[in-house]
């Protein structure tokens, strides 16, 4: 079984090429051999020149799965459908290698959703794209950090749609996915399910969704032996988890989970796709077109994502 980590370059016009070069440059030559970059050689070499890193990509250097871009290299900092097409093809190639066991985990640099959709790939982001590419019914976004971990019932959909998506079935599936993810590390996570409404609806005064959907999902999960509590009022749930009461919080929608994580771990949180047949983690930031190509993008988040990828590689899924 391989421990090779595949890194997808993300949008060529964003900071992906730079942070990849920075992270690889900070490694020992031996450590670099455990990574394969799925990207464009011209873009990687352009980033290397900006940073004066002195790395060699391709034959005789860092293992690189090269995919050409029409008219490459693309200029930094511009939304372009060519970038959307390229990042899709980088990810597709990495997924196929992960499915075949040629790499242990995919670590993704950021993509631009406008460029991706402009190229005709209509996904909400990496999570939906990876579910589609692997033929999975769905996947779940887990944001993990040193003191707070959050898994989401829904992510990139409108808030009014997120409320209707928080069904008992989906909440239960999210609880199960989070439990299974932590169980692979040999732990039994203490899970809290955040409420949807203020004060979990206050007995129906502020809405009935908590009683209708969350309460039965938690009961069903408990019946399966999962250590789960909820619904817990969201205004206290995350603080309690941060202070050590829970190992994982189930967030009902995007901002409910993202805001607390980005407040306490903006540069270090890692985005993990849970529930797929392959392993994937990612930086938890965007393409930052405004600073792309200037050599000032920080690779701190990518370093943490690569460390988590190595953790996943050494704790393979059951039966993998």
Domain boundaries, the chain: 1-139+268-320, 147-264
- Gap between the Cα atoms of 9 and 13, Å rounded: 10
Is the model's pTM score more than 0.95? no
Please say if the pLDDT value at position 1 is more than 80: no
Among 107, 105, 38, residue whose Cα is nearest residue 67: 38
Place of tokens 């293992």: 63
pLDDT of residue 320: 47
Q: What is the mean pLDDT of residues 180-191?
A: 95
pLDDT tens digits for range 118-160: 999 998 888 889 999 999 988 899 999 999 999 999 998 999 9
Give yes or no on whether 1-139+268-320 and 147-264 have one common fold: yes
pLDDT reading at 318 higher than 70: no
Q: Mean pLDDT score of the chain, rounded to an integer?
A: 94
Task: Report yes or no: 309 and 278 within 8 Å, Cβ to Cβ.
Answer: no
Name the CATH code of domain 147-264 (choices 1.10.3720.10, 3.40.50.720, 3.40.718.10, 3.40.50.460).
3.40.718.10
Whether the predicted pLDDT of 72 surpasses 80:
no
What end-to-end distance do the CA atoms of the chain give, in Å?
9
Quick: pLDDT tens for 245-291: 999 999 999 999 999 999 999 999 999 999 999 999 999 899 999 99
- Cβ within 8 Å of residue 269, ≥6 positions away: 143, 144, 145, 261, 262, 284, 301, 304
Report the alpha-carbon distance of residue 17 to residue 186 in Å, rounded: 35
Average confidence (pLDDT) over 54-62: 93
Q: How confident is the model at residue 312 (pLDDT cuts 50, 70, 90)?
A: very high
Topology (CATH) of 1-139+268-320: Isopropylmalate Dehydrogenase (3.40.718)
pLDDT at 319 over 60: no
Does residue 88 surpass a pLDDT of 70?
yes
Report how far apart, in Å, the C-alpha atoms of 51 and of each of 22, 111, 198, 255, 302 are.
8, 21, 48, 35, 16
Find out whether 287 and 13 touch, Cβ atoms under 8 Å. Answer: yes
Q: pLDDT tens for residues 194-252? A: 999 999 988 888 999 999 999 999 999 999 999 999 999 999 999 999 999 999 999 99
């Amino acid at each position: 079984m391989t421990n090779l980590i595949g890194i997808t370059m993300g949008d060529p016009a964003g900071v992906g090429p730079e942070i990849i070069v920075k992270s690889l440059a900070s490694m020992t030559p031996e450590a670099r051999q455990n990574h394969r970059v799925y990207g464009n050689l011209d873009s990687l070499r352009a980033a290397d020149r900006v940073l004066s890193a002195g790395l060699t990509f391709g034959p005789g250097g860092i293992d690189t799965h090269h995919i050409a871009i029409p008219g490459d290299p693309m200029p930094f900092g511009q939304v372009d459908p060519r970038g959307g097409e390229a990042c899709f093809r980088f990810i597709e190639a990495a997924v196929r290698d992960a499915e075949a066991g040629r790499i242990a985990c995919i670590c993704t640099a950021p993509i631009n959703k406008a460029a991706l959709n402009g190229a005709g790939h209509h996904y909400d982001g990496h999570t939906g794209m990876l579910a589609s590419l692997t033929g999975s019914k769905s996947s779940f976004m887990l944001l993990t950090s040193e003191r707070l971990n959050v898994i989401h019932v829904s992510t990139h959909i409108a808030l009014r749609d997120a409320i209707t998506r928080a069904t008992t079935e989906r909440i239960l599936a999210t609880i199960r996915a989070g439990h299974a993810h932590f169980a692979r590390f040999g732990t039994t996570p203490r899970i809290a399910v955040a409420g949807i409404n203020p004060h979990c609806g206050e007995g129906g005064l502020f809405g009935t969704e908590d009683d209708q959907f969350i309460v039965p999902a938690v009961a069903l999960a408990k019946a399966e032996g999962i250590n789960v509590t909820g619904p817990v009022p969201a205004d206290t749930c995350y603080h309690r988890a941060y202070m050590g009461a829970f190992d994982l919080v189930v967030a009902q929608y995007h901002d409910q989970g993202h805001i607390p994580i980005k407040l306490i771990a903006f540069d270090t949180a890692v985005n993990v796709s849970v529930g797929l047949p392959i392993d994937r983690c990612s930086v938890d930031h965007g393409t930052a077109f405004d600073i792309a190509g200037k050599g000032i993008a920080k690779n701190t988040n990518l370093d943490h994502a690569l460390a988590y990828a190595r953790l996943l590689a050494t704790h393979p899924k059951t039966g993998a």
